[in-house]
Structure 1
Amino acid sequence: MHPRRFARVRPTGRVPNSVKLLLEPKAPLIECRLVDYSAGGACIELPKALVLPERFEMFHGNIKKRCRRVWSRGLRVGVSF
C-alpha cells in the first residue's frame, strides 16, 4: 500500500459539511455529505447509489473543484482534485 500524499482530516470549524456535484452540463446538482477533505482530494457520501462519471465538478461552499473519481465503496466515493 502506498502512503497518502496528503493527510486527510475531518472537516471542522466553518467548513461546510455538504457539497454539490455537477455530473453533466445542464444536469441538476446532487447534494452530498462531505466526510473528509484535504488539499489533494476528498471523501464524499452520496445520498443514494449512483454511478459517477470519471470526471465531474464539485461545489464546496463558494469553491468549484474539478474532480476525478479515485475509488468507491458503497455510498462513499474518494475524489482527487
Structure 2
Amino acid sequence: METLNDGALHIAEEAHHIMNNHSIMIYPIDIETLFETNKWINAYECYFKNMLGLKCELQSIDAFNFIQQLDLNNNS
C-alpha cells in the first residue's frame, strides 16, 4: 500500500478491497510459493498504477498476469 502513495493515494481504499478479494480467492495457497514477495509488491503497484494510467517498471509479467486473471475470474 505504501508504494501507491506516489500519485495514487486516492485509490488506496479500492486497492485494499481488491487485494482482500484476491487473498480470499487464493486462500489457502501460500503466495510466496507462487512468486517472491518483492514481485507481488511490484506487480500490485503496477496493477493499480496501470488503472490510473501511471507508468511503472514491471519486474514480473507472470505475477502481473496472475493478478489480472484473478480479477477476470472474480468478475465472471
TM-score by length of 2: 0.27
**Higher strand residue share:** 1
Decide which structure has greater helix share.
2
